[in-house]
Amino acid sequence: MNSPTHRAFPASRLRRNRVDDFTRRLVREHRLSVDNLIFPVFVLEGEGQREAVPSMPGVERLSIDLLVEQAAELVELGIPAVALFPVVAPEDRSLSASAAWDSQGLIARTIRALKQAHPELGVITDVALDPYTSHGQDGIIDNDGYVLNDVTVEALVNQALCHADAGADMVAPSDMMDGRIGAIRQALEENGHINTRIMAYSAKYASSYYGPFRDALGTSSTLGKSSKETYQMDPGNSDEALHEVAMDLAEGADMVMVKPGMPYLDIVYRVKHELKVPTFVYQVSGEYAMHMAAAENGWLDGDKVMMESLLAMRRAGADGILTYFAVRAARILQQRG
Ligand X SMILES: NCC(=O)CCC(=O)O
Q: Is residue 174 close enough to count as binding ligand X by CB under 6 A?
A: yes
Question: Is the CB of residue 114 less than 8 Å from the CB of residue 65?
Answer: no
Q: Binding partner of residue 244 among Mg ion, ligand X, none, CB under 5 to 8 Å per kind? A: Mg ion
Which of ligand X, Mg ion, none has residue 101 at its interface (CB below 5 to 8 Å by kind)?
Answer: none
276: alpha, beta or left? (left if phi > 0; alpha if psi -120 to 50)? left
- Least distance CB 5 / ligand X (angstroms): 41
- Rounded to 10°, the helix 302-316/285-296 angle is 150
Neighbouring C-beta atoms of residue 91, cutoff 10 Å? 7
E strand residue ranges, 110-241: 122-127, 170-173, 197-204
User: Given the DSSP bridges, would you call strands 279-283 and 320-323 parallel, antiparallel or unpaired?
Assistant: parallel
- Which of these segments, 93-101, 230-238, 282-290, 328-336, binds ligand X (CB under 6 A)? 282-290
Q: Which of 43, 100, 110, 126 binds ligand X (CB under 6 A)?
A: 126
Return the closest-CA partner of residue 131 out of 210, 208, 197.
210
d(CA 24, CA 260): 30
Closest distance to Mg ion from the beta carbon of 234 (Å): 13
The reply on whether position 210 binds ligand X by CB under 6 A is yes
Integer angstrom CA distances of residue 303 from 192, 221, 295, 328: 44, 32, 9, 8
Active-site residue, from 115, 225, 228, 259: 259
284 binds ligand X (CB under 6 A): yes
From the list Mg ion, ligand X, none, pick the one residue 174 interacts with, judged by a Cβ distance below 5 to 8 Å according to partner type: ligand X
In DSSP terms, 94 is beta-bridged to 133
Distance CA 325, CA 311 (A): 12
Given 115, 204, 225, 304, the catalytic residue = 204
147 is an interface residue for ligand X by CB under 6 A:
no
- What residue type is 279 in one-letter code? T
Binders of ligand X among residues 303 to 332 (CB under 6 A) are none
Strand 81-86 and strand 122-127: pairing? parallel
Shorter beta-carbon distance to Mg ion: residue 201 or 324: 201
Specify the residue, 42 or 101, whose C-beta has the smaller distance to ligand X: 42
Of 132, 205, 213, 280, which lies in the binding site for ligand X, with binding defined by CB under 6 A? 213
H or E stretch at 322: strand 320-323
Q: Is 259 a catalytic residue?
A: yes
Q: Is 244 in the site for Mg ion (CB under 5 A)?
A: yes
Count of residues that interact with ligand X, criterion CB under 6 A: 8
Does residue 152 touch ligand X according to CB under 6 A? no
What positions carry a catalytic annotation?
A: 204, 259
Return residues touching Mg ion (CB under 5 A).
Answer: 244
Return residues touching ligand X (CB under 6 A).
Answer: 126, 128, 174, 210, 213, 284-286
